[in-house]
Amino acid sequence: MATFASDVIDRLRDVREIEIETTREAGEKRRTTIWIAVDGEDVFVRSEYGDNGWWYRDITNRPDAVVHPRDIDPAGSIAVRAIPAGDGDSVERCSAAIKRKYPPGSSVDVMTSPPATEATLRLEPA
């Protein structure tokens, strides 16, 4: 399993949101803003709407994507490859990372419950 450099991990751990750029079947690129969670060296994303989320459908069909961190210094995008992470350990680690990173509330509740938990992906360097 490939891992990101430590400075990239730190940046993704600290940034509140990213734009994920996916590719549709016809080749059109699209971006959407999502949360990102880091646990150790593993980087996770989830679709709030499970497999009904358009970006999730795009990235599961074409796993190469680009992450655009939405932070104070947005220099540089990060090429990634999405890997399904539906095993129980990954799902729980992602949920725990979300709960550590984001303030408690209804948004965290949504992102740590089905159908979101069923749409957990691990990002690796492309």
CA distance 85 to 75: 28
Cβ 34 vs Cβ 20: under 8 Å: yes
Could you state, in order of their start, the residue ranges of all structural domains in the chain?
6-125
78-84 β-sheet, strand order? 29-35, 17-23, 64-69, 78-84, 120-125, 42-46, 37-39
Could you say which residues of the chain have pLDDT below 70? 72-75
pLDDT of residue 1: 73
Q: pTM value? A: 0.94
pLDDT of residue 76: 81
Give the amino acid at 94: C
Reported as half-sphere exposure (CB side, CA atoms, 13 A), residue 6 has a value of: 0
CA distance 118 to 11: 26
Give bridge partners of residue 79 from the DSSP assignment: 66
What is the per-residue pLDDT across 58-75, written as a single tens digit (0 to 9) for each? Answer: 999 999 999 999 875 656
**Second-level CATH architecture of 6-125:** Roll (2.30)
